[in-house]
Structure 1
Amino acid sequence: MAVKGSIPKTMKALVAYSKDDYRLELAYPTPECGPDDIIIKTEACGICAGDLKCKHGAAMFWGDDVQPSWVKPPFIPGHEFYGTIVQMGENVEGYELGEKITADQIVPCGKCKFCKDGHYWMCQPHDMYGFMSYTNGGMAEYVRYGKTSVISKVPENMPLEQAALIEPYGCSKHAVDRAEITNEDVVVISGAGTLGLGMITYARMKNPKKLIVLDMQENRLDMAKKFGADLVFNPGKCDIDKEIKAITDGYGCDIYIEATGNPASVVQGLTIIRKLGTFVEFSVFGKETTVDWSIIGDRKELDIRGAHLSPYAYPFVIENMMNGNLKTEGVITTILPIEEWEKGFDLASGREGDLKVVLTFD
């Protein structure tokens, strides 16, 4: 087998052996390059809310009495990453050593009904970078992209502060696209974290009648204004239902996009959305959410839409970050070396006001 490029036999990597056993390994085996594979040297990897919830043992990852375990340890976390090509298999075409690339979080099988009809992000096996031992993620010096990886090229002059946001902004784009916003819609986005800010700056491009953002943190509401929100409210300081109804002649918002992962935000959304409105749910939840489902059907006849991952989004996101249409300034608040991963995970919780925390490699 002919392989272009060479890499060391071992690398630094954060490895999850169980929900209670995450270790920084200094001599972990580097991935082997098969004939259809690409190996990248990781430049940066963001810490996602999903990474935090996985580390904290959320049942949707590790299973419980109701659902089986989904993750397959030992695995290397991280799905918000990009890097430089350092090795390629003999069958790889269209790429060169030294190019920067990234890939969708999903690693589609290419064979199931969803892959075959173009809905690759809902692939039935649903292997994803950062959660399986055979699809290790970006919290390591080197990562292997397989034959079915959905790869996008990253411009050489794209700064880390943008490139490390491609994956979350791709998810933001897909969520907003699911809402089908028009210029007659009053849109409420609940949550102004990294994903919420990505939604705000993209939703602004849709020119809605009114773009309203909710968050419990004032610094995030300030960012929301800079990113295009017309109005911002802190649910902890005012009656959101009263405020939204006042703006909409008593009807409620046309579209509500939930981006907090907090059960209270779901109940809030069902309260302030108008009859025949569209509710988009994106978040990963750490626990179950209970609502009165009669609101959805009998009372309001709502369209409830989920949003998962970032299909077909990367090229648009990359182009519009580079041309300035998608705002990114200030979203990445902390950059740390992989050796400080524990501090990074702690800060990524937002307890000290951070938005996106990114890990890097020498």
Structure 2
Amino acid sequence: MEEVKKMKRVMFYGPKDIRVEESEIPKAKAGEVIIKNKVTLTCGTDVKTYMRGYRYEPPFPMGHEAAGIVYEVGEGVTTFKVGDRVVAHNSAPCNKCYYCKKGQHSMCVDLFQNQFTNGAYAQYQKIPARIVEQNMFHVPDNMNYKQAALLEPLSCAIYGVDETPFDIGDTVCINGCGPIGLMFVRMCYLRGARVIACDLSETRLEKARILGAAETVNVSETKDQVADVRKLTEDGRGVDAAIEAAGLPEVWNMALNMVRPGGFMLAFGGTKKDQTIAIDTYKMHYEQLTIKGVFHTTPKHVNAAFEMLKMNAISEKDFVQNEYQIEDIEKAILEHASGKVIKNAIIYND
């Protein structure tokens, strides 16, 4: 009888209830790849999931930012082989539904999100055929695993920036400087914006300045965040675009009130279900404001993110601070939540 090989993985059972469990190492079916993870990074979504749950019923696995080595390939896989250094994005659209045909791949009615089936907080992870075909990449020899694992959040930020209309020299305010917020800072700066960054954490604001923010506003030290941002624009007219990356309805409202007449607000941070904001219809109409929601990312922007990583547009040295073993996943997530670090890494021993 063939020996059953075991691995450790993290399962979510409910708010503040995550457990490291032993399970079988998955086997690759046709078109699939099994990755032996070298690193998994913590994420704001992991924090939200740990604190309040997610939109799927538990139990389910966790983690979606990982990179490693190909451990096994299924029948028909020709672009990857055992031993290859790889990174796989966490999702892939069907490319068949109405929304995919309209080019709105993040709205795919059959969007496969791998972290809720084969989570990346695990020693081994199964990559379904659809992701292998669309969103899996060979990691260059000069790129380390932590850098490669930044693929998913960077692709989300690039998608958001691509959907935000601003010209070179325009002023853009980023509200929330968690990992993706900081990637918004960097990508807007590289696209030619004058960036204002807002956050509660001075640690994160310092990082925002390193990544290109011209001005910062410490929300914990101001009585009126909107007024302080407007003061940093000519004649106090407001910013050309404001990006919400905190996932809080009150910040959505503030971001909308920061923009100038004719300006744009991107609602990127995901909120709790059934939350609403009130919109001043007079202001919305006569100032010709635009609000756009953006969720997740698309294969186009995943590919762009991988190219940006190869160009060292961002560096893991700016985003990943401490290393933990999988048994200490709760500590890693709580430290991430504290704002004292940008991200932590779960490292897997051979």
Task: Say if 2:345 is the partner of 1:361.
Answer: no
Shift of 1:289: 4.1
The correspondence of residues 291-302 of structure 1 with structure 2, limited to 5 A, is 291-294=278-281, 297-302=284-289
Question: RMSD between aligned alpha carbons?
Answer: 2.3
The CA deviation string for residues 124-164 of structure 1, in whole angstroms up to 9 with x for no partner, is: 03331222xxx211011111111211222222331233122
Going from structure 1 to structure 2, the CA distance change for 1:257 and 1:7 (only over 3 Å counts) comes to farther
> For the residues of structure 2 that align with 1:224 and 1:323, how far apart are their CA atoms?
20
Q: 1:339 aligned to 2:327?
A: yes
User: Which amino acid in the other structure matches residue 140 of structure 1?
Assistant: A
The answer to whether 1:277 aligns with 2:263 is: yes
Partner of 1:65: none
Moved more, 196-205 or 106-115: 106-115
Give the counterpart of 1:227 among 190, 197, 211. Answer: 211
**Paired residue type of 1:12:** K
Give, in angstroms, the shift of residue 75 of structure 1.
2.2
- Partner SS state of residue 232, structure 1: strand
Query: What residue in structure 2 maps to residue 171 of structure 1?
Result: 156
Say yes or no: does 1:85 pair with 2:70.
yes
Tell me, yes or no, if the aligned pair for 1:191 and 1:259 is still in contact at 8 Å.
Answer: yes
Task: Please state if 1:187 is matched with 2:175.
Answer: no
* Structure 1 unaligned residues grouped into runs of 5+: 1-5, 62-69
How many Å separate the matches in 2 of 1:85 and 1:295?
57
Task: Assess if the C-alpha contact under 8 Å between 1:152 and 1:314 holds in 2.
Answer: no
Tell me whether 1:140 sits opposite 2:122 in the alignment.
yes
Q: TM-score, normalised by structure 1?
A: 0.86
Identity of aligned residues (%): 28
Matched with 1:51 is 46
8 Å contact from structure 1 (residues 201, 327) kept in 2: no
TM-score (structure 2 length as normaliser): 0.89
Question: Residue 305 of structure 1 corresponds to which residue in structure 2?
Answer: 292
- CA drift at 1:16: 2.3
Relative to structure 2, which stretch is displaced further, 274-283 or 235-244? 235-244
**Residue 2 (structure 2) pairs with residue 14 (structure 1):** no
Cross-structure match for 1:326: 314
Distance 1:7 1:221, change over 3 A: farther
Q: Distance in 2 between matches of 1:111 and 1:9?
A: 37
**CA distance in structure 1 between the partners assigned to 2:46 and 2:229 by the alignment:** 33
- SS at the partner of 2:125? strand
Query: Is this contact kept in 2: 1:227–1:327, CA < 8 A?
Result: no
Q: CA deviation at 1:49?
A: 1.6
1:327 and 1:101 map into 2 onto residues whose CA distance is 18
**Cα distance between partner residues in 1 of 2:85 and 2:103:** 26
Number of positions where the alignment pairs a residue of Structure 1 with one of Structure 2: 341
After superposition, the Cα gap between the structure-2 partners of 1:296 and 1:179, relative to the gap in structure 1 and judged at 3 Å, is farther
The alpha-carbon deviation at position 295 of structure 1 amounts to 5.9
